[in-house]
Structure 1
Amino acid sequence: MRKPSPIADVVMHPVRLRIIQQVGTREITTASLRSALPDVAQATLYRHIAALVDADVLTVVEERRVRGAVERTFALGERMAHVDHDELLEMGSRELQQAFLTFLAHLGESFDRASAADDPRFRDFLGFGETTLHVTTDDLAVIQAGLGELLAPYLAAGGDGRRTVTLATALIPTDGAAPRG
């Protein structure tokens, strides 16, 4: 059995991040991905899709014949498309910085695309800010579990006038001081 690549090695590529963003919580065909990412050459897109499938980040949920070719439909796979805590601990400083900068670049690109649409409702769904928390690692586990429970009803695409938004989080220690007991 092959050892899976560290998730950061797989997803921290700008094209792969864009593919993951397009898939999100829905199912999407290769044709829809080509339409959504017209600036990515077809061969390049297919190569990155294959890498994501090989790493179980994407999974094939359906295959059907379309004009003699096989059209595949994808969804997010078994592995979550994020870097987990254990993988963060294994990264060197340069790898960690590159992963974070890739994340920020992807976030900035998403913002640029959304704001360029010149939709007057854009700001109705926009928000950003930061807050300081005073936590232990156990507190963070409780917060993550609570956020997962809170967000679960909003992860599936649905009608009812809902708009798709991206929620991005980053936890960054603000000082090098030892934890307070």
Structure 2
Amino acid sequence: MLDKLIACFTHPAKSRLLLEIYTKKQATAKQLRPVLGDISQSTLYRYLNQMCQDGILKVIAKNPVRGTVEKVYALKIDLQAEGETLLKKDPAKGLLYLFTQYMAGLLQEFREYAEREDADPTQDALSFTVCPVWATREEIVTVLQKIGEILTEMQKNQPAPGRQMHSIGVIATPPKKLEEGKPQ
């Protein structure tokens, strides 16, 4: 199941479908159409059916509409509960599952931003970066603590003129396994 969910998040169209249903809690193909206007209607239905077969989505209602049946789709699983259970059972896979959910939240924020008429990444101080570093575990912990202290201070800020709500996500990836015989 986890592999299919991750594959869904990495698929350009399926990830948009998943995020839209996650945001709306439930949706019909007709409601999803504007989000995926770049794919054909038959492809949309094929993706929805595949996601149902993969156990990611479920049909929660079937509404008769002019001689046909309109299906209402929702997530089949509770992402948070599933992640917590998996974290206890298999910490590595559970962590991957929760990270996937974390990334879905960030993707949703970026998607909503990209759809805004007034989106201006430079003016809005939007940023993301990757900074590969050589560090010991202790050095990484120290850096994360310092970042945490800065963010904790910022969280004390109250709404005020000129202030807008931002989300700052911090990720430290696990160390890479180096092959024996390769230079470090």
Counterpart in 2 of 1:172?
Answer: 173
Structure 2 counterpart SS, 1:35: helix
> How far is the alpha carbon of 1:28 from its aligned partner?
0.8
- Helix, strand or coil: the match of 2:173? coil
Aligned-pair CA distance for 1:24: 1.1
Distance 1:40 1:126, change over 3 A: farther
Corresponding residue for residue 114 of structure 1: 113
Q: In the alignment, what sits opposite 1:61?
A: 60
Match of 1:6 among 3, 16, 20: 3
Whole-angstrom CA distance in 2 between matches of 1:46 and 1:62: 16
**Going by fraction, where is helix more abundant, 1 or 2?**
2
Task: Say whether residues 1:47 and 2:46 are aligned partners.
Answer: yes
Tell me: CA distance 1:110–1:88, structure 2 relative to 1, closer, same or farther (3 Å).
same
Separation of aligned partners in 2, 1:78 and 1:47: 20
TM-superposed deviation, 1:15? 0.8
Q: CA deviation at 1:48?
A: 0.8
The aligned counterpart of 1:31 is 30
Q: For residues 168 and 39 of structure 1, what CA distance do their matches in structure 2 show? A: 30
Q: 1:112 to 1:59 in 2, by over 3 A?
A: closer
In structure 2, relative to structure 1, the CA distance for the partners of 1:5 and 1:64 (3 Å cut) is: same
Partner Cα distance (1:27, 1:65) in 2:
17
Distance in 1, matches of 2:7 and 2:44, equals 17
Aligned to 1:86: 93
Cα separation, 2, equivalents of 1:11 and 1:115: 18
1:27 CA drift (Å): 1.0
- Tell whether the 8 Å contact from 1:57 to 1:79 is kept in structure 2 after alignment: no
Listed as ranges, the gaps of 5+ residues in structure 1 are 90-99, 136-164
Letter of the 1:18 partner, please give it.
R
* RMSD, aligned CA: 4.8
Q: How far 1:73 moved relative to its partner?
A: 0.8
- How many residues in Structure 1 have an aligned counterpart in Structure 2? 131
The equivalent residue for 1:75 is 74
Write the deviation string for residues 79-131 of structure 1: whole angstroms up to 9, x where unpaired. 74999733899xxxxxxxxxx9xx79x94x973662352247x99x997668x
Comparing 60-69 with 73-82, which one deviates more in the overlay?
Answer: 73-82
Secondary structure in 1 matching 2:77: coil
User: Runs in 1 of length 4+ with deviation above 6 angstroms?
Assistant: 81-84, 125-130, 165-169
Q: 2:16 aligns with which of 12, 15, 18?
A: 18
Larger RCO (CA within 8 A; separation ≥ 6): 1
Q: Which amino acid aligns with 1:30?
A: A
Q: Aligned partners of 2:55 and 2:113: how far apart in 1? A: 29
Taking a change above 3 Å as real, the CA distance of residues 176 and 6 of structure 1, as seen in their structure-2 partners, is closer
**C-alpha distance in 1 between matches for 2:55 and 2:49:** 10
